[in-house]
Amino acid sequence: MAGSTEDAANRYSRLDVWPATELMTALWEGQTRALAACVPALPLVAAAVEAAADRLAGGRGRLVYAGAGSSAMVAALDGLDLGPTFDWPAERLVLLIAGGLDLSRGLAGAAEDDEGAGRADAGRAAISAADVVVGLSASGASAYTVGVLRAAREAGALTMGIASSAGSPLLEAVEHPVLTATGAEVIAGSTRLGAGTAQKVVLNLFSTGVMTALGTVYDNLMVNVRPENAKLRRRCTAMVARIAGVDEEAAGAALERHGDVRRAVLGLAGLETPDIDRLLTETGGNLRKAMVRAKSVAVKKS
């Protein structure tokens, strides 16, 4: 059975005098064990994805991330990437970080121990039954994060927790507990290593699964990506060309006219802007569903 993330494994004694190649091998082995620890959690993550997508499908609820220390950084990294990648609205993302988001002086370590602060931050964020709240803590004992999750659950929000310690307060506080039993770290207690890797993997799987279930992906294409630079504009042009079955010149012109992949594809299907906007609103921005409805619109007009 995997030990605690705080345990000091005897096999790594005198690690500080190991040759660099042996140190790298040990650290790599710790990472591979962390990845293996995620596999048993996949059914739990899948259940959380389905529940979260159902909760967020109405277009009102928010995705809330909570954490302290290095776990907070993993959470923030995942959450902040949802806008550029999946066009997730900024107003539907909340980051609750122990000590706040101003990291100019580093992480606020003592803030992790304050459950009351977590509850207070959840209250200020006005968490409700429409929201999905995800908390991360390697040990599962971060009082701040547990406070957020307990308050969120009391408010009726859907709650999910990711931790590497079985029976921890964080996992007991949520509806969807996800245990990644990564065990003792190569450097005792340094959960930026294996436990941090497992957190990042599970959170990445969860958020990608939720965004896919909400229709931000067509086939395996990120059709909601924001074309904010030259590389992404080229990618968007290629996606429009592939989905609409046109050459890249026509795809580029449609993208320029309509502004994003979904609207460009629907425009190339013969729809005018009012119909495009209406269909995307009716389908919650789901391109596949909008394309099905677009065919009926085209038939009616013909």
Nearest CA among 214, 60, 206 for reference residue 131? 60
- Return per-residue pLDDT of the chain as tens, 302 residues: 455 666 666 788 888 899 999 999 999 999 999 999 999 999 999 999 999 999 999 888 999 999 998 899 999 999 999 999 999 999 999 999 998 877 667 676 678 889 999 999 999 999 999 999 999 999 999 999 999 999 999 999 999 999 999 999 999 999 999 999 998 888 888 888 899 999 999 999 999 999 999 999 999 999 999 988 999 999 999 999 999 999 999 999 999 999 999 999 999 999 999 999 999 999 989 999 999 988 776 555 55
pTM of the complete model:
0.90
Which distant-in-sequence residues (6+ apart) come within 8 Å of 182 by Cβ? 2, 5, 33, 34, 37, 138, 164, 194, 195, 197, 198
How many whole angstroms separate alpha carbon 22 and alpha carbon 110? 34
| Beta carbons within 8 Å of 31's beta carbon, 6+ residues apart | 193, 194, 197
Question: For residue 161, which phi and psi values (nearest 5 degrees)?
Answer: -130, 140
**Phi, psi of 224, rounded to the nearest 5 degrees:** -95, 5
Structure token pair of residue 197: 């890797």
